[in-house]
Amino acid sequence: MDPCGTGASALDADLRLVFPGREESRTRVEATLAVAATGAAGPRAYGLDGEVTRGPNRIEGFRYRFLPAAAQGPVELTFVRLLPAGHYRLLLRLADEATGACSRLERELDVPALGAAAGPEVAAVGPSLRVFAPTDRLLTGTVRFEVDLRQAGDSRLVFELDGKRVMTRVRPPWTAELDLGSAPRLHRLTVLAESPAGAELAREEVLLNAGPHRFAVGLDLAADSGRTPSGIEARARVTIPEGERLERLDLLVDGALRATLHQPPFVLPLRVPAGATWVRAVAYLEGGGAAEAVRLLGGGAGAESVDVDLVELYATVADRQGRPLEDLRPDEIEVLEDGRPQRLRRLERVRDVPIHAAVLLDTSDSMADRLDENVRAALLFFEQVLSERDRAALITFADRPRLVVRFSGRLERLAGGVADLSAQGQTALYDSLAFALHYFSGLGGKRALVLLSDGADTVSRTSFDEVLEFARRTGVAIYPVGLGLPSRPIEPRLELERLARETGGRAYMLERTARLASTYEEIEAELRAQWLLAYQSDATGGTGYRRVEVEVRRPGALARTAAGYFP
């Protein structure tokens, strides 16, 4: 690690290390830098680069950025690392961004084996488990799960599905056959290893039917056990899409950035001012895209009710001519959940939100006469709508879906995917919609599925009602574009329109591809400039579907959003 630059003034900082506990096989190392006041006016920001070595080997490197709430006076900057028991050397470089003052600290680091009578090697192993779940298909019906349980001694395995205990195993084989229902939907499977006395030894959570490109942030808050006055501990969980790399994770309190973390563990004690109401964690990918989680602080710092989710909705609000409204006020918006008015906690105009979009292209026999038009339509969508920050995918379908191009920002790759397509086979529309939604599910930000088809399903095993429920659960806005859709029977039109209405999209029934350009312009304008509404639901308990309505108190104005959500 390089020392502070030549000529940099010294930054007065002292380091304190404590080992408050153990997390699975590793010891928690809590480091606090006490930084003296510098006399600089305005907001303060500190950059921290760190390195842990053992002999000639570099064990890990890490980087933080702190923006403490206090503008003057001394501050304490605390960070957390998780290390196996053993002897290390810790090197830190702390810099004041405003003054350029710098401090370089080196410490010998003896990490104890907490909670273990044996030596460091045994303590570093500890109980562990791994859940093996199928990921190559949508999971419905009875599914078998296997668990690799190690170093757990005389323990039992508990299986929880969507927060409910459904099975306990007291001896090998560590397997479970669980009923996931007939309709595809997202499930959270939690497996816990418990001692005979009920103490938790290890756990793993797996999100089922989440898709390989899930980008999501989970955020837990807890009181800081008295170690940090007026503080909480924020613990984020980041799921990174396949093939992507994380750039950073920002932690904000009431909208003010307080810290940036670049490597796991994403655990940080935070001091929060009196009256603070919420904490937000936002993760950013190196290639673009963001995902976030928000938690409310109920009744002040360290309160028991800190773990409360906000319901967030993207809404399109337009006047009677269809023009987007730019000047909404919170008092002009009313949100109803199952008919009950909700308190609006956030109203924000969001522009140029990165988009994840997929084109689901019908290549069945019924589209043979229009396939060339459909191919041109898909290519036009990629060319016209996508910016360098967006990602798009191409999925074709006949009697089964096929992922042709994974999410990509490269137009040439997407264009190559639509080349040399041929029309053959029957039309598994509902199965293919479920497949596309599964591929989407879990991605953060704005997501849209553009369906190009004549809308006539012939061979799907999935019913319309089942794919509609799955669409409600995944939260992807569906934009069906019916090209040459027959007027009879009427059911295909009605089903496509309902899919769009329930998910916050819009259905387009076109006779000619000449209208596609203006259709894509409307879709793009809608996706890139919407209102973000957030409220805390007053519902208590239950896992059923909750209907949502957004009403605008302005003559002629209408709002369109997803028709509801599953908690």
Domain boundaries, the chain: 13-123, 128-208, 355-515
Identical topology for domains 13-123 and 128-208? yes
Q: Is the dihedral of CA 496, 499, 503, 504 positive or negative?
A: positive
From 4-13, 65-74, 225-234, 506-515, the region with the lowest mean pLDDT: 225-234
pLDDT at 228 over 70: no
393 versus 150: which is more confidently predicted? Answer: 393
Cα(538)–Cα(165) distance, integer angstroms: 25
**Dihedral angle computed from the Cα positions of residues 456, 462, 468 and 471, in that order, rounded to the nearest 10 degrees:** -110
- Provide the pLDDT confidence category of residue 223 given band limits of 50, 70 and 90: low
Identify the architecture of domain 128-208 in CATH: Sandwich (2.60)
| DSSP class of 249 | E
Q: What is the pLDDT of residues 137-193, one digit of tens each?
A: 778 889 999 998 877 678 899 999 988 999 999 988 999 999 998 777 778 899 998
From 14-23, 48-57, 73-82, 376-385, the region with the lowest mean pLDDT: 376-385
Helical ranges in 112-186 per DSSP H:
120-123
Say whether domain 355-515 belongs to CATH 3.30.450.20. no
Cα(43)–Cα(13) distance, integer angstroms: 18
Average pLDDT, the chain: 83
Q: What is the pLDDT of residues 461-475, one digit of tens each?
A: 889 998 998 888 888
pLDDT at 339 over 90: yes
CB atoms within 10 A of CB 285: 19
Q: What Rg, from alpha-carbon coordinates, does the chain have? A: 26
- Provide the pLDDT confidence category of residue 377 given band limits of 50, 70 and 90: confident
**CATH number assigned to the domain covering 13-123:** 2.60.40.10
- Report whether 215 contacts 287 (CB < 8 A): no
pLDDT at 309 over 70: no
